[in-house]
Amino acid sequence: MDILEAIILGLIQGLTEFLPVSSSGHIFLGQVVMNKFSEEPLLFSIVLHLATALSTVVIFRKDIVQIFKGLFKFKNNAETKFSWLIVLSMIPAAIVGLKLDDYIEQITTADNQYYGLLIVGACLLVTALLLYFTEKSKNQTKDLNSKSAFIIGVAQAIALLPGISRSGATIATGILLGVNREKMAKFSFLMVLPLILGAVAKKGLDYLEEPQTMEVLPLLIGFVVAFFTGLVACKWMIALVKKAKLTSFAIYCGIAGIFAVSYAFFI
């Protein structure tokens, strides 16, 4: 892997981990259009995910400390309640990921381009609709509760499908349920952190089974680019959600979805 490729992949990882456009869907689209299906080195993938996880930790470090305090205090207060709602929201995606991860990965393979494009395109259109209706939602005054946290967790599980944006699906679902925009953005990014670390751990075990060698410089550059891009994208996304400015992402995902479905009939 050369330096330029490491920079590009770092930028993609840092931006799409937080912006509501679906990284997996866009990577598949790029592979189909360029007719270039190449597997990213496992070690590099681990490093990039660690970088975006660290950017989340940096931005929400105070909240993360409060979550750990809440988990072990066992008191009936807002801090403890928020901590256990994070845990509850993780359950659906964790179950789906463990049971169906291999099947979901088969959607975006070189041998499944036609149906893959149709699925990714349809999912991008769903993301567009979610973001569009989010902008129309006016009543965001409710607090998170067990029911809303679980429903948001189900949205995160559905977002394992390529084309469904994880941040878009979770934030939109919360806002449509009436949860405060700023609180929902924070909840969305905090609830995914354990899942990212879990995915890194799983990839790490796979790497230990089949170790790979890779130059240190591309790893370092990819990490730095993904980390700082993630910081910017995360802060930007929080600001956009607070100001109710997601329409442009809805339009973009709609166009990308129509393109994906249309392109399926030309391959």
How far is it, in rounded angstroms, from Cα 107 to Cα 25? 10
| Residue 160, number of CB atoms within 10 A of its CB | 19
Listed range (71-75, 132-136, 199-203) with the worst mean pLDDT: 71-75
Task: Give the residues across from 179 on adjacent strands.
Answer: 142
Helical packing angle, 23-34 and 247-264, nearest 10°: 40
How far is it, in rounded angstroms, from Cα 36 to Cα 60? 37
Which pLDDT value is given to residue 119? 96
Can you give the C-alpha Rg of the chain in angstroms?
18
Give the mean pLDDT of 106-126: 93
Which pLDDT value is given to residue 114? 93
Listed range (18-27, 75-84, 168-177, 256-265) with the worst mean pLDDT: 75-84
Which pLDDT value is given to residue 172? 92
Residue 78 has pLDDT above 90, yes or no: no
Residue 190 has pLDDT above 70, yes or no: yes
Which pLDDT value is given to residue 118? 96
Give the mean pLDDT of 253-260: 96
Coil/strand/helix, residue 15:
helix
Domain ranges of the chain: 3-264
User: What's the N-to-C CA distance of the chain in angstroms?
Assistant: 28
Give the mean pLDDT of 236-262: 90
Give the whole-number percent of the chain exceeding pLDDT 90: 40
Residue 159 has pLDDT above 80, yes or no: yes
State pLDDT tens for residues 218-234: 889 999 999 999 999 99
- Residue for token pair 């910081």: 231
Which pLDDT value is given to residue 5? 81
Residue 258 has pLDDT above 70, yes or no: yes
- Residue for token pair 């681990």: 46
How far is it, in rounded angstroms, from Cα 233 to Cα 256? 20
Which pLDDT value is given to residue 210? 73
Closest-CA residue to 132 (of 41, 245, 26): 245
Residue 162 has pLDDT above 80, yes or no: yes
Which pLDDT value is given to residue 74? 65
Write the single-letter amino acid at 191: M
Copy the structure tokens of residue 153: 């967790």
Give the mean pLDDT of 158-171: 93
DSSP labels for 77-97?
SHHHHHHHHHHHHHHHHHHHH
State pLDDT tens for residues 2-53: 788 888 888 888 888 888 999 888 888 888 887 877 666 777 888 888 999 9
How far is it, in rounded angstroms, from Cα 62 to Cα 179? 21
Burial 50-71 (b: 16+ CB within 10 A, else e): bbbbbbbeebbeebbebbeebe
pLDDT: which is higher, 88 or 267: 88
How far is it, in rounded angstroms, from Cα 200 to Cα 196? 6
Write the single-letter amino acid at 129: L
Mean of the per-residue pLDDT values for the chain?
Answer: 87
